[in-house]
């Protein structure tokens, strides 16, 4: 059996942890770092095949030293034709190769947006019959596809875009960024335990608690500094335009260029809970929509999503987050629903930027499923025949991109092929499950409470260029 002193960075061995059922288990883990505090060794472990937010510091008594696997020595540089220096594989190719391996999607033929379909009872228990008909094509840029969807033309899933605020280039990962660096964050009346690394100033990472002003999100090193800041901070809501209010829920639109300090602080906070987020300081091209809850003390941040001012891929969300104290209460779906309400006002179909986080994917699948089933179950036919609808019409009604509509129908296993046409089958189980889910979904967006005027950012950019050019001319 190996000794504790032999355990170094890169070793793999089973580590004792408690699962959700409060039972002991010994998953395989990787040692990322070792530190010595007052003669006591601590080991930072990453549980293999588990989410990084479960990573933690453990003591030696939780390590199974009998099954330790020491790190292998790195292989020599590969050679080509017997000569050293051949080009290694690029990080981008490695990332794409990983995406292709782990993608949950299985390429199968998928119906197009104009496919004909009829719905028949499944095992005699269907309550609704919906037939998809040919429909007019909507003019829109349909470039982005869901990581779990099939392309509507050839059934082959496209690789996610490897740029943008949600995508992380894993080639730059190192031990530092793989480890949580903030122990605890105090935000208003909540204390949050971060899940991931966030690039706060290094001198703050050694503190037991990082204090944030819950209105301007400025970070300070002590409670005294926070109290002194609160005497000067006159904000009681996010700095931006309030574009929605119903009851105690409000949404504020914040321009990343006009309110750069707030936007950067918001990104730093969000990085604590979003593993793939890489946007910290370049906030100019983005808009931030912050959801708040109001009480006598002010508007308290619940969550937010960001979106590019101009997106060639029709992304209507770049990053989306509900803060941990407000999770599992319906706020995530409310954020998603609000993003699609903005898309409806803009007259566009939208899709979230890929890849989605694990929690993000679950939330979007649930929202897409409920929204599409709500439409299918409310369809009525005046002629007494089966009601009919096209994929394009569903997309236009909901502003959900048609690739996401198709992938959701396939995920729900509603699409079948019968007598030369596609049919959508709503079984009794699907209908009852949907009705139970909608009873729990109390929070909904009321479009009448939305006061939003979309801006043409491309024209604004051109105007800025013309002004700058004229200024240059005058200066010359």
Q: Which amino acids are annotated catalytic?
A: 353
| Residues 413, 330: Cα–Cα separation, whole Å | 25
Q: Are 330 and 338 in contact (CB under 8 A)?
A: no
Q: Name which of 118, 165, 436 is nearest 282 in CA terms.
A: 165
| Residues 130, 415: Cα–Cα separation, whole Å | 11
Q: What angle do CA 105, 321, 158 make, to 5 degrees?
A: 25
DSSP character string of 78-102: P-BTTBS-PPPPPHHHHHHHHHHHH
Q: Are 130 and 427 in contact (CB under 8 A)?
A: no
Other beta carbons within 10 Å of 447: 11
> Would you give the DSSP letter of residue 321?
E
Tokens 């993003």 — which residue?
Answer: 339
Q: Are 414 and 425 in contact (CB under 8 A)?
A: yes
> Would you give the DSSP letter of residue 324?
G
| Residues 39, 169: Cα–Cα separation, whole Å | 37
Q: Exposed/middle/buried for 354, CB within 10 Å: 0-12, 13-18, 19+?
A: buried
Separation of CA 407 from chain center: 17
| Residues 262, 256: Cα–Cα separation, whole Å | 8
DSSP character string of 254-283: EETTTTHHHHHHHHHHHHTT-SS---SS--
In what order do the strands lie in the sheet containing 415-418?
128-130, 421-426, 415-418
The angle, 0 to 180 degrees and rounded to 10, between the axes of the packed helices 358-377 and 402-411 is 90
Q: Are 159 and 149 in contact (CB under 8 A)?
A: no
Q: Name which of 137, 145, 129 is nearest 414 in CA terms.
A: 129
């Amino acid at each position: 059996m190996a000794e504790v002193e032999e355990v170094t960075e890169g070793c793999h061995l089973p580590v004792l942890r408690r699962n959700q059922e409060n039972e002991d288990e010994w998953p395989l883990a990787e040692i990322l770092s070792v530190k010595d505090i007052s003669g006591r060794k601590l080991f930072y472990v990453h549980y293999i095949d588990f989410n990084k937010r479960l990573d933690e510091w453990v003591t030696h008594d939780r390590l199974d030293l009998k099954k330790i696997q020491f790190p292998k020595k790195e292989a020599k540089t590969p050679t080509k034709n017997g000569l050293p220096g051949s080009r290694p594989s690029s990080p981008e190719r490695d990332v794409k190769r990983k995406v292709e391996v782990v993608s949950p999607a299985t390429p199968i033929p998928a119906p197009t947006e104009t496919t004909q379909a009829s719905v028949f009872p499944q095992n005699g228990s269907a309550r609704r019959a919906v037939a998809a008909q040919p429909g007019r094509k909507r003019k829109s840029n349909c470039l982005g596809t869901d990581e779990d969807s099939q392309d509507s033309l050839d059934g082959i899933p496209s690789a996610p875009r490897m740029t943008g605020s949600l995508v992380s280039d894993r080639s730059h990962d190192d031990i530092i960024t793989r480890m949580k660096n903030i122990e605890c964050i105090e935000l208003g009346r909540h204390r949050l335990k971060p899940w991931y690394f966030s690039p706060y100033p290094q001198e703050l990472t050694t503190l037991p608690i990082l204090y944030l002003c819950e209105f301007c999100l400025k970070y300070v090193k002590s409670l005294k500094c926070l109290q002194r800041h609160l005497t000067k901070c006159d904000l009681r809501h996010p700095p931006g335009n309030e574009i929605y209010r119903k009851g105690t829920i409000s949404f504020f639109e914040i321009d990343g260029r006009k309110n750069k300090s707030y936007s950067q602080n918001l990104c730093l906070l969000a990085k604590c809970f979003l593993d793939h987020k890489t946007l910290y300081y370049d906030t100019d091209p983005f808009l931030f929509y912050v959801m708040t809850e109001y009480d006598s003390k002010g508007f308290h941040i619940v969550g937010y999503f960001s979106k590019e001012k101009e997106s060639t891929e029709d992304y209507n969300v770049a990053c989306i987050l509900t803060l941990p104290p407000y999770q599992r209460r319906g706020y995530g779906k409310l954020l998603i629903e609000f993003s699609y309400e903005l898309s409806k006002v803009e007259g566009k179909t939208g899709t979230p930027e890929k890849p989605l986080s694990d929690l993000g994917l679950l939330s979007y699948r649930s929202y897409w499923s409920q929204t599409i089933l709500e439409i299918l179950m409310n369809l009525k036919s005046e002629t007494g025949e089966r009601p009919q609808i096209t994929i394009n019409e569903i997309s236009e009604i909901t502003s959900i991109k048609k690739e996401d509509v198709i992938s959701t129908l396939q995920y729900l296993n509603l699409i079948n092929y019968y007598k030369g046409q596609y049919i959508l089958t709503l079984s009794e189980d699907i209908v009852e499950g949907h009705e139970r889910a909608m009873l729990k979904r109390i929070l909904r967006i009321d479009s009448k409470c939305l006061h939003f005027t979309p801006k043409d950012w491309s024209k604004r950019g051109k105007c800025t260029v013309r002004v700058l050019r004229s200024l240059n001319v005058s200066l010359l």
